[in-house]
Structure 1
Amino acid sequence: MVHQRRSNTRNRQRSSNCSVRSRVLNAINNPLKIRFKTRRRMKYNMELKREFKERSRELLGSEAEDYFQILREPLTNALRINTLKITINALKKRLKNKDWELKPVPFCKQGYWVESGPMKLGSTLEHFLGYYYIQDPASMIPPLTMDLREEQKVLDIAASPGSKTGQIVSIMNDEGLIIANDVRIDRVSILKINLQRIGARSVVITRRNGMNYKKMTGFFDRVLVDAPCSGEGVIRKNPYAAVQWNPNSFPKFSRVQKKLIKAGYQALKPGGLLVYSTCSLAPEENEEVIDYLLKNSDAEVEQIKIKGLKSKPGVTEWQGEKYHKEINKCIRVYPQDNNTEGFFVCKVRKR
C-alpha cells in the first residue's frame, strides 16, 4: 500500500514536470499571445516630487511639461540586432514571420523599437540564441560616438550588464582587444552571461575597482566611462525611480564619477578618445564631472554629431556654478525628443 502511494506521488511529479516543460516550450514557440499594444495604452499614475519639477523647469523651461507628460508613459521596448550572429535582414525576416512589428531607430542601424511582439523580449528563442540584445536606443549612443576600429584596444571601465560592451564588440567585428570591467562579483556574473550569449570572443572580463586602471597609463585607444549614477533618466522604465529620487545622492555619485573619469583618462593614449555617459540628467553628475576633468587635465571636448538623433547641448551654468564653455558640445538626450530614456554623453580627446 505504501509502495503504491509512493508510486502515485512519483507519477504526479513526472506529470507536473512534463506540464512545466510543455508550458515553457509553448511560451518560447508561441510568445505572441500577449502583445505590447495592450501595455502601451496604460500610463503610470505617479507623483513627481516638487523639487524634481523645479529643477527640470530650470533646465528645460517651457519644454518641462512635455517632459513630465512623457515620464508617465511606459517605455517602448527596443532591441539591438547582434550582427555577430545574424544579419539585420535575416533577423527582420525571421521576426516578421512571427508577426513582430519593428520600427527602426533613426540614429542606429542595428536598433529597433518593438511596436508589436512578445511581452517579454527576454523569453524568446531569438534572445536565447543571442540574435538580439534588449537595449534602449539612448543606451546605444555612447558606442556610436567612439570612432571605433578593429585594431584598437578599448576599456569599458564600468561595463555590466554589457549592453554597450556588446555593441562595441559588434562595431569592431569582434576584433581588437576589449577590456570589460566591473567592481562587483554579481555584476561581473551578469556581464559574463550576456557576453557569452552574444558570442563575443575579443573581450577580457575583469573584476576590479575601475580607479585602478589609472596604473595602465597611456595603454588604451578608446575608453568608455558609462558611470554609475542616480538613474534619474530611467523613470519611464522604472517608475519607482521617481519615488527614490533624492538630490542628496548627487554629490556621492559625483565623487565616484570624477575618480572614474580621471582614471579612465590616465589610461588613455595621447590622441585617444574617452566617452563619458550616464543615464542621469542631473548637471552635478554630468557637466560638473566634465568640468572637473577639463580643469585637471589637457582634455578637449569634441562635438558629437549623430544623424537622426535629437539632442540638447550641455549646460554651462547651473545654480550659480559656471562650467567650461566647451561643455556645450556635450549632449543631453531627453525622453520626449526621441522616445527613449534620458541620457548624457560627452566625448573628449587626449592631447
Structure 2
Amino acid sequence: MLNYNLHFSALSKNIRLQLPEKFLKRLDEQFRNQSSELKESFSLPPATSIRIHPNKLKSYSAEKIPWSEFGFYLKERPLFTIDPLLHAGCYYVQEASSMFMEQVFTQLFSENEKIIVLDLCAAPGGKSTHIASLLNSKSVLVSNEIIQSRIPVLKENIIKQGTGNIMITNSDAKNFGALNEVFDCIVLDAPCSGEGLFRKDKRAISEWSEENAHHCSIRQKRILDDVLPCLRQNGLLIYSTCTFNPEENEMQLKWLKESFGFTGVRLKIDRDWNIDEWNEDDLYAYRFLPNKLKGEGFFLSVMRKTESNNFSETVYDSKTDYANLPKKYSQAFFQNAVLINENENIYEWKKKIFLLNTAQIELLKIIGSDIKIIYAGIELGEIKQNQEIPSEALALFDRVNISNFNTVSLTTEQALSFLRKDAFNISRIEKGWLLAQYENHPLGWLKSLGNRMNNYFPTEWRIRNY
C-alpha cells in the first residue's frame, strides 16, 4: 500500500487565483445561479486520486470514486515518486473526473466483445491505461500521441501498467483518417483551453484568452474532420475536454450532428454523483463541476456515427511492409515467461520478442508505413549473442509467470536504490536473472554474475532527485 509516512505536499490550504475577468463574466452567463459557487471552488485545493491496477493490487482502503470501480480519493498527496508501488504499476495517479470514461465502456460494450479503439491524443496515458484495463485480451487500443516529445512518458506509463492489448503510435489525425472504418470507437480528449484545470495548472490561466479558446475550437474541428473516416459506421466517438467553454464543448456536438449526422448516446448516471447532464436536440453531455463534486472541470459526450464513408478500401494496404511483419517465435525461455491467452502468440519483430494478440497482428497488416508504430503488445526481451535478455516490460506485465524466475525481495531502501539505478549488491550464490520484487510486486531485473549484480532498470526511468 502507499507509504503515507514518506512526504506530503502542502495542498491543504485554500488557494487564491487571479482569474481572467472575461472568463469570470462568461461563467456568470453560462452557469447563472451556480456561478458564484463555481468561482469559489477555484480557491479550494484539488482532490488527489488514484486508480489501482486490479491485477496487481487486489484491495485498497480509501474513499471510493463513485463512477470508477478501482478509483480512490486520498486524504493527502504523498510524494508519489518515492513509492516503489507506483513504479511497479500497482496504481496510476489520475484525476477523478476523467475516470468517468469507465462508464462509457462498461455501459456500451459487452465484457467479451472484441473492439478496436483509438485514443488519438493519449499522452501522458491516464485514459489509455484506464481504457486498456477495461478491454479484454482479444481487443486492442491504439494509443496515439501526435506530439513526438510526449511519446516517452506515454510509453513508460503504458509499460508500467503492464496491459498487453495496446499499440503506441505517433501520427497526425489525418493519417488515421485515411484508414477506412477500422475502429469501433475513437476517444478524443481534445486539446482545449484548460479552464477546468486552472487550480492545478497556473500556466493554463496565463495562456487563457477568448482568442486562444476560439483557436482551440478550430483545431478541435480540424482534428475531428481528419480522423472521423477511420470510425466505422455505428461506431462510437467519445469526445472530452477539460474546459467549461461551450464553443469547445456543446457547440462541437451540434457541429458533429449537422456536418456528419452523428447522434447522441445517453449514459446512466446516479443522481448522487452530482454530475450535470446536458441534453439538447437528442445530444447528451456530462459536465463535472468542482463546486458539486470532488474532481476538476471535465466534459464528456458519446456520439454514434450513423453514416458510412462512401469510399472503398484502406489506402495503406499497398504500403504495408509484409517482409517486416512479426514472425512466430517458439524458443522456451520467452514461451515460459508469460501466461498466454488463446488469441495470443509470441513473435519476433524488429529484432525483439513480443507477445501480440490477433487484433494487433491484423492492425499491423493494415496500417502500413504512414503511421509510425512505437510499440505493440508486450516486449518480452531480445536475443544477444545467443543469450536471452528479458525486458522491463516483461517484469511489469500483469501476466508475467513469476514462478518461472528466481526472485529477490527488496526492502523499501533497496527498492529505491534499485529505482535510482544505483550499483547493487545482494549476496547471491547462483548466477543468472533475478526478478526484483517489492511487497511481492515485480520492479525489474537484476543479473547475478556471482561477484556482483547488474541493475537492468531502464536508465531513462530512474529516480533522479531523491
| Shorter-chain TM-score above 0.5 | yes
Alpha-carbon distance in structure 1 between the residues aligned to 2:134 and 2:2: 31
Alpha-carbon distance in structure 1 between the residues aligned to 2:185 and 2:223: 14
* Residues 1:86 and 2:57 are matched in the alignment: yes
Q: Which residue of 1 aligns with 2:73?
A: 113
Q: Which residue of 2 aligns with 1:313?
A: 277
* Residues 1:56 and 2:43 are matched in the alignment: no
Partner SS, residue 277 of structure 1: strand
Aligned-pair distance for 1:200? 2.1
Indicate how the Cα distance of structure 1 residues 69 and 326 shifts in structure 2: closer, same or farther if over 3 A, else same. same
1:84–1:198 contact (8 Å) kept in structure 2: no
Indicate how the Cα distance of structure 1 residues 84 and 228 shifts in structure 2: closer, same or farther if over 3 A, else same. farther
Q: Which residue of 2 aligns with 1:10?
A: none
Partner SS, residue 291 of structure 2: helix
Indicate which of 162, 165, 169 corresponds to 1:206: 169
Equivalent positions of 1:130-279 (< 5 A) are: 130-146=89-105, 147-148=108-109, 149=111, 150-279=113-242
Aligned-pair distance for 1:284? 1.1
| Root-mean-square deviation over aligned CA pairs | 2.1
Q: Which residue of 1 aligns with 2:282?
A: 326
Alpha-carbon distance in structure 2 between the residues aligned to 1:311 and 1:176: 30
The C-alpha deviation readout for 1:270-304, integer Å capped at 9, x for no partner, is 22111100011111111121122111112111112
Alpha-carbon distance in structure 2 between the residues aligned to 1:290 and 1:197: 35
Alpha-carbon distance in structure 2 between the residues aligned to 1:56 and 1:203: 39
Indicate how the Cα distance of structure 1 residues 302 and 226 shifts in structure 2: closer, same or farther if over 3 A, else same. same
Specify every segment of 5 or more residues in structure 1 that has no aligned partner in the other structure, as ranges.
Answer: 1-27, 97-101, 317-324
Specify every segment of 5 or more residues in structure 2 that has no aligned partner in the other structure, as ranges.
Answer: 307-466
Alpha-carbon distance in structure 2 between the residues aligned to 1:122 and 1:211: 37
Q: Which residue of 2 aligns with 1:129?
A: 88
* Residues 1:34 and 2:7 are matched in the alignment: yes
The C-alpha deviation readout for 1:184-241, integer Å capped at 9, x for no partner, is 1111111101000100211111101023211112111111011111111101212343
Alpha-carbon distance in structure 2 between the residues aligned to 1:157 and 1:266: 13
- Structure 2 counterpart of 1:346, one-letter code: S
**Alignment identity in percent?**
26
* Residues 1:349 and 2:298 are matched in the alignment: no
1:311–1:334 contact (8 Å) kept in structure 2: yes
Alpha-carbon distance in structure 2 between the residues aligned to 1:193 and 1:311: 32
Alpha-carbon distance in structure 1 between the residues aligned to 2:305 and 2:130: 23
Deviates more, 1:239-248 or 1:158-167: 239-248
- Structure 2 counterpart of 1:50, one-letter code: E
Deviates more, 1:264-273 or 1:225-234: 264-273
Aligned-pair distance for 1:31? 5.1
Alpha-carbon distance in structure 1 between the residues aligned to 2:82 and 2:146: 28
Alpha-carbon distance in structure 1 between the residues aligned to 2:252 and 2:233: 21
Query: Which has more helix, going by share of residues?
Result: 1
* Residues 1:71 and 2:47 are matched in the alignment: no
1:142–1:277 contact (8 Å) kept in structure 2: no
TM-score using structure 2 length? 0.61
Query: Which has more strand, going by share of residues?
Result: 2
Aligned-pair distance for 1:30? 5.8
Indicate how the Cα distance of structure 1 residues 113 and 215 shifts in structure 2: closer, same or farther if over 3 A, else same. same
Alpha-carbon distance in structure 1 between the residues aligned to 2:91 and 2:152: 19
Indicate which of 263, 267, 277 corresponds to 1:300: 263
Indicate how the Cα distance of structure 1 residues 269 and 29 shifts in structure 2: closer, same or farther if over 3 A, else same. closer
Aligned-pair distance for 1:252? 1.2
Indicate how the Cα distance of structure 1 residues 237 and 296 shifts in structure 2: closer, same or farther if over 3 A, else same. same
Aligned-pair distance for 1:145? 1.2
2:17–2:199 contact (8 Å) kept in structure 1: no
Aligned-pair distance for 1:343? 0.8
**Which one has more relative contact order, counting CA pairs under 8 Å at least 6 apart?**
1
Runs (4 or more) in structure 1 with deviation over 6 Å come to: none
Indicate how the Cα distance of structure 1 residues 258 and 245 shifts in structure 2: closer, same or farther if over 3 A, else same. same
Alpha-carbon distance in structure 1 between the residues aligned to 2:273 and 2:228: 27
Q: Which residue of 2 aligns with 1:22?
A: none
Alpha-carbon distance in structure 1 between the residues aligned to 2:137 and 2:201: 32
The C-alpha deviation readout for 1:313-337, integer Å capped at 9, x for no partner, is 3376xxxxxxxx233x212211112
Partner SS, residue 218 of structure 1: coil
Partner SS, residue 11 of structure 2: helix
Alpha-carbon distance in structure 2 between the residues aligned to 1:122 and 1:144: 29
